[in-house]
Amino acid sequence: MGAVHEIDFSSGGEVLPAAMTEDAGVQAAQALSALGYSQSEIGEALKGVDKTLSVEDMIRQALRQMVRG
Spans of all domains in the chain: 19-68
% of the chain with per-residue pLDDT over 70 = 67
- CATH number given to 19-68: 1.10.8
pLDDT score, position 19? 47
Torsion of CA 31, 35, 41, 44, to 10 degrees: -30
Global pTM value: 0.65
The 10s digit of each residue's pLDDT in 37-69 is 999 999 999 998 988 899 999 999 999 988 886
Predicted local confidence at residue 10, as pLDDT: 57
For 7, counting Cβ atoms within 10 Å of its Cβ (0-12 exposed, 13-18 middle, 19+ buried), the class is exposed
Burial class (CB in 10 A: 0-12, 13-18, 19+), 20: exposed
> Residue 22: its pLDDT value, please?
52
Q: What is the pLDDT of residue 6?
A: 59
